[in-house]
Amino acid sequence: MEVMNYSSENSSAISGLSECEFPMLNLTDESKADVYMLNAATAKVILTVMFIILAFGVPGNMAFLLMVFRVQAMRNATNMYLTSLAVVDLTFLSISIFNYFLYFNNSIRTHLKTTELVGCVGAFILPYFTYFLSVSTVTLVTLDKYNAVCNPIRYVKGRNKQRALWLIIGSWVVAVLLAGLIALRFAKLTRLCALWPEGEKYQDLPVLVGYCGAVSSAGLIIGHVVEVVVFFIALVANAFMYGRIILYLSARVDRKKQEQQAVPTQATQIRNQVSRLLITFGTVFFLCQFPFVIISLTNLVDYLLGTPLDVSYRKFVLPLTISHVFIFLNSAINPVIYNLTSSIYRQAFKEVVCGVCLLRERKRRKRVASVQPDMCENSFENHMLAEEGDVDNKEANLETNMEI
């Protein structure tokens, strides 16, 4: 939310707040005042949706981390990137829910409750750090698959895990720096004394309100530009690599069809799963972030055209609130995508769940000194070995690995 302009109309009403030590925010016009108020029903709906997202987002990301830790075959370069993303998503979900709870459990829109705990920078830097790290991680995952598909020999020879580690460290550093630039847009807390309209509806509303805004005009512009430019660069880069990957996989299957007169079932499945996982993962990410970025771009255009900040705020306050729900959803939904689009991830999750169930069963059986047959006869490792047994060259081995 940006710092609002205010006027000093209705001097007789303002005189009633003569003891206020902060600038006046004139909201005597009910149409303006209602924008700064939070509808109780809307706030409850949004909080309910966010807690539902939290209920499957936290366990889902924790299950993914446990899967990578427990299943050795899942410890590859791609999952190193996704592990980094899962850690940040968990942090974002766990901390942001408190910010949202403080904000929506209010009769008016104000940042005062949050800033009393963590300040303006603390309230906004974590979401933007998560945003930039998510953008970089999605791009790194796509780049990893792009190299694996389009440059397979060089990819196999490369030290992919070591390279992935350095790229992850670099992405964290870059995300911190970019979030620091964005902080220029929110680092200044402006306290205002709100002059509400007369009437029972407004009688018990707090007088003191506060909003986090830009430290300067340049800080406002830099914050918006960085956010928008990074998003669209990543969008174009990912779209280009998605297209190249899908075309290359399709050409590979077509080539095998010409050579063998029949498309190998495994090659077709690999092409479909890689395409489906990449397209779904990237599309969901960019769709969830898109509304927020478009609002930021529109705010920037309005500001450059001379539109007052409070006018822009009133115009976008509801869409901005909804866009935050999509951002929150984006941090929770990735493990669901992995399971829906890839049999390898589904099998790995089954391996973890089955292992936990088996451990409990063995402890129970041990008490009565009896032996329980293995509940997971088809383990993830056996599944991988069975698939690899059908592959008789390095290219096919690489394709099997790319199914993840």
C-alpha to C-alpha distances, 67 to 92, 205, 329, 377, 401, nearest whole angstrom: 20, 49, 21, 18, 17
The pLDDT, as a whole number, for residue 260 is 60
The pLDDT, as a whole number, for residue 379 is 43
The single-letter DSSP state of residue 368 is T
The pLDDT, as a whole number, for residue 55 is 93
Check: CB of residue 209 under 8 Å from CB of residue 192: yes
Q: What are phi and psi of 240, to 5 degrees?
A: -60, -50
Q: Is the pTM of this model over 0.75?
A: yes
The pLDDT, as a whole number, for residue 199 is 81
pLDDT means over runs of 10, the chain (404 residues)? 42 52 84 83 90 93 90 84 91 87 84 81 87 91 85 73 90 94 89 86 84 89 93 94 84 65 59 73 90 93 87 82 90 88 82 66 57 43 43 43 45
Check: CB of residue 327 under 8 Å from CB of residue 289: yes
